[in-house]
Structure 1
């Protein structure tokens, strides 16, 4: 099977790397950014181009959500399978006469961060059983966590990921602002963060909750509120209210 990855950003890089590490041949990586493509091509030894899209059986579009539809129009071949890697877009956003699908890797991607691709879940959606099997088999060469998903379910998967990843990381950023302001090294909090994350590998997040809100410790809650202002104070109040509502305190 001839496979082409379209894109030059973090998702394209890691998808290409996952394929190469698992001995899945890539015919080309195609995109607009010559400098980024050169780096990916040199590291992973994949042919690249910004002008000539080679003929392929499968095109994997790894670009921002806002660009998926426009990029999909450059594929004029009809007898092929095209997939995007978005968590929120329907497969029908792909604007061509080819067969349409999605292959969503549930992970946050940074080019400088090494990843264990075998543990990244992949969610597959396709128009027919044959294409679904093709993508399921392909993803299974990379990861042990592959499942079928409709667009409706994928929207909720993406929403859950925003809560579990993006929002949590934002709270890390807010926490670092507080520690920096008090000249406390943020890395002193990393063992606490690591233990919190490790704990939910073993018990349900709701059962793992600790802190003044779940204890309904009004003295501590009021003290903390006196130390905060503006957005951080609003976040603090909102989070504590949500915790107490969950535990009916």
Structure 2
């Protein structure tokens, strides 16, 4: 049985707690946050604290706070030579204070408090600075996920950057699409099967092979018609940028002049 203490009470911390609580191989011995109000519903399941000096001993301490707070919180921990890991996709393990053994437990997923997550399907990217800590962190990861990978800091940073494109930027495109449909009284829900099929296709095809649409086939009439329909200049700029990017990827024979013309039109 691996004992853990969770430090932080944001979205990632809440989902980690639920995953650990459901595991037969992990016990959450304590949960810390400066403000424990959001953790009150779990008061009967786990020991809560808002006092770092009251932290109890555990096998692994998991810092699940904002990136900017990781270093400062790790410096305030009142112990040494214990395994402390953070959950960030972009912060170095060296940001954890060197008085403790350091590592990463990065769940590669988007987390919203109200959304249900099957943690067994969440990829866990792990890294430790000391070889002796790797097996224990791997065992912890495998207790809640079927997809645990050793990932170094450079690889993790690239995955985090790519995740911004496939998740954060894509979700913003969904929001724009929602605004476009609402402006004409169309139902955004009618796009949801398309959204799912787009995501499903790249499970079997490369994104390059899965690409379709007017930009790929250089359908100039449709592209111009779409641009005329867009009243929001920001949306128009995004459409032009994405169109030029797709055409540059799938039609390298296009001249630079033609690509620049698309951006200007």
- The 8 Å contact of residues 13 and 40 in structure 1, kept in 2 or not, is answered as no
- Provide the rounded CA distance (Å) in 1 between the counterparts of 2:86 and 2:36: 21
Equivalent position SS for 1:125: strand
Aligned: 1:245 with 2:245: no
Counterpart contact for 1:30–1:37, Cα < 8 Å: no
Offset of residue 74 of structure 1: 2.1
C-alpha separation in 1, matches of 2:98 and 2:58 = 15
1:93 offset after TM fit, Å? 0.4
Matching of residues 103-182 of structure 1 within 5 Å: 103-182=105-184
Contact 1:62 1:84 in 2 (8 A): yes
**Residue segments in structure 2 that go unaligned for 5+ positions in a row:** 255-265
Moved over 4 A (4+): none
Structure of greater Rg = 2
TM-score relative to the length of structure 2? 0.90
Instruction: Identify the match of residue 228 of structure 2 among 222, 226, 229.
Output: 226
Aligned to 2:48: 48
Show the counterpart of 1:18.
19
* 2:96 equivalent to 1:84: no
The answer to whether the 8 Å contact 1:75/1:96 transfers is no
Count of residues in Structure 1 that have an aligned counterpart in Structure 2: 247
Deviation digits for residues 142-179 of structure 1, max 9, x if unmatched?
11211111111111010111111111101001111111
- Equivalent in 35, 38, 41 of residue 36 of structure 1: 38
Does the 8 Å contact 2:227/2:236 carry over to 1?
A: yes
Contact 2:102 2:130 (C-alpha < 8 Å) held by counterparts: no
Q: Structure 2: how far apart are the matches of 1:79 and 1:215?
A: 59
Spell out, residue by residue over 1:185-226, the C-alpha distance to the aligned partner (whole angstroms, 9 max, x if none).
211111111111112122222111111001100000001111
Report if aligned partners of 2:121, 2:145 keep a CA contact under 8 Å in 1. yes
Query: What SS does the aligned partner of 2:216 have?
Result: helix
How far is 1:96 from its partner? 4.2
Whole-Å separation in 2 of the counterparts to 1:56 and 1:151: 25
| CA distance in structure 2 between the aligned counterparts of 1:125 and 1:204, rounded to whole angstroms | 28
Does the 8 A contact of 2:32 with 2:50 survive in 1? yes
RMSD between aligned residues: 1.2
Residue 67 (str. 1) matches residue 69 (str. 2): yes
Match of 2:7? 6
Task: Give how far 1:79 is off.
Answer: 2.5
Which string of whole-angstrom CA distances, capped at 9 and with x for unpartnered residues, describes residues 38-59 of structure 1?
Answer: 12445xx121111222222311
Please state whether the residue corresponding to 1:92 is helix, strand or coil. Answer: helix
- How far does residue 15 in structure 1 lie from its aligned partner after superposition? 0.6
